[in-house]
Structure 1
């Protein structure tokens, strides 16, 4: 069975490769990738029969990879840290997964289960897991001074940081201030449609009206947001990629 390892941490890939040699000589690792972009290229070229797939990759999610390789037939085993959103999605879909750090007994069990599963049955499981993942990542709970506020991320236009506080601006003209820095929200928002073009801002790509090449973003409500010089190239790549999808 030809296997592809898709995981953004090299030491996890190395450990998994070593464990596979111990537990199943029939599994042959034909490639390793750390990004969605590279994984799609390698998968189309090598046609793996089994994919070990991390949920959070450096340029997207494991579900992004699955969407872009729907024409290929391979079994999937997820690799994930103990994350509430990830595990809820995988358990709801009954999809096989192994937790980091990888345990040899869990690996054996996952391999045995996935070998007995048909492609069509796993596609159903992955579809369910993807929908749960999407729903779980569509909301954010903010801890305010006197309450917990739920906001829909598809309504959040941008976040602005100032002296240890972050203000969340929604398209309903509502705003919420929390006593946390932008850094504490960057990873969470980066999994969906947000980008950080400046030290003081995180922006929802869906609300960008245009990008001025002089280094400014204009949102659909007219708000102007600066793009720092060191982040211009990265932002432009994200902006163009988002709008080409």
Structure 2
């Protein structure tokens, strides 16, 4: 049996989650809590394998709870209406991030990830790497790395290897020299955690590492084309023109009349 605890401050949300979990015969709910204090008592007493955790818990939040839990910690699936906390959730090694209102199918996918993790040798997310990530996170300083979930594995992507980021539906696509990764977070939220002098917002759908720009070609209407080290190009929207370093920004005319369209 998969022993599960529900930590959620709204009774209707807990009741709905219980109804959805009832469809899974291998799941047993060991208890419920609505704030940090009761959650600590519950989790210490029952030691469940999995916790469904809301971000907002009265006057506290889920991260205050996680900081106080002893090791080994249970697996965590966030269930919340606050999409902007997704990046921070995965930095503390959450298995999944369910955005309310989610349905039974989405819940089933989350449980499948949990079952896959529990079959691995490192079922508990208490390894040294995760502890370093948790200790290093600060809203005032960019994290040194990002953590993505890929087919039941937790993959660390160092910021030093990140070349650019593009929106991809409800995810962002992280581009490195070797491969691409998907991270479920809005681009604007990720941008808040990156150094704006190092990662430039060049388009509403793109963040770019500044040192990847080889040259800039002006286009019509104040836009520009950025030529990158890997041979690819990106459009620089005139809305984000001021994000470029001053020496590159100077080649882009403010008025479009003097720049013929690119054909």
What is the TM-score of this pair, normalised by structure 2? Answer: 0.45
| TM-score, normalization by structure 1 | 0.48
More helix by share: 1
Bigger CA radius of gyration: 2
